[in-house]
Amino acid sequence: MALAACGPAGQATPSTSPATQPVTLRYTTFWNQERLNVLQPAVDEFKATTGHTVNMEPVPNYAEKLVTEFVGGAAADVPHAHNQVMTKLFDQGMILDLMPYANRDKMNVRRDYGLMGIEFWNGKLYTMPYVLSPHAWYYNKTMVKEAGAPDPWEQLKGELTWEDLLAIAKATTKPAGGDKPERWGISLTIESVPGAWPVGTAT
């Protein structure tokens, strides 16, 4: 995921000088309050360091609300970027180019940050990466062994291809029978990749 800063279409490029008076920023996101609680210490530190305040708002139906707010001229100062929406906003000139600010602060975003692909668009820097963390994929060794599938670590040494993962998932998927419910070897969708738990839901 990336953090985006926005500005209305056609607006003149603002000064890149740091604000001299405290401001209040509205940050909207599809994250729930529990995840925002994790961010709170950093937000508090930001306020203590700069004097600026950030009001964080978890928003249900985020993609739809994000578009609605931009159309209505009420978009957040700092909306959490949504992959399926942002490029349309880039093309319509609705998002502020952050490159002057990155240059001012001597930030090399391409070199020093983990990018997900929508930070740069047509030579401009529109979103900032701010979440980059390793994810462990857990699997049930007993399920894999019972299915006769190769152990992802012992046999494959952690070097799985997508084909390997699909084969293991198929082998560990079982239909319902008797008093046993159906079992899925993996639950993985385009929206759940960061938090997926493949081959790990034992019944």
Domain borders along the chain are 2-129, 141-195
Higher pLDDT, 108 or 6: 108
Q: Which fold has domain 2-129?
A: D-Maltodextrin-Binding Protein; domain 2 (3.40.190)
Report the candidate in 153, 157, 146, 162 with the shortest Cα–Cα distance to residue 196.
162
pLDDT of residue 8: 41
Going from the C-alpha of 5 to that of each of 90, 129, 141, 148, the distances in angstroms are 11, 11, 44, 50
pTM, two decimals, is 0.60
**Host H or E run for residue 56:** strand 53-58
How much of the chain exceeds pLDDT 70, in percent?
81
Q: Which two tokens stand for residue 8?
A: 């209305």
Q: Is the pLDDT of residue 26 over 90?
A: yes
pLDDT of residue 193: 54
Q: 20: helix, coil or strand?
A: coil
Q: Read off the DSSP letter of residue 15.
A: P
* DSSP class per residue in 67-126: HHHHHTT---SEEBP-HHHHHHHHHTT-B---HHHHHHTT--HHHHS---S-SEETTEE-
Question: What does the mean pLDDT of the chain come to?
Answer: 84
Inter-residue contact 22 to 52 (CB < 8 Å):
yes
pLDDT of residue 167: 94
**39-83: per-residue pLDDT in tens?**
899 999 999 999 999 999 999 999 999 999 999 999 999 999 998
pLDDT of residue 83: 85
* pLDDT bracket for residue 13 (50, 70, 90): low
- 144, burial (CB in 10 Å: exposed 0-12, middle 13-18, buried 19+): buried
**115-153: per-residue pLDDT in tens?**
888 899 999 999 998 776 666 778 899 999 999 999 999
Position 179, amino acid: D
Inter-residue contact 95 to 8 (CB < 8 Å):
no
Q: 183: helix, coil or strand?
A: strand
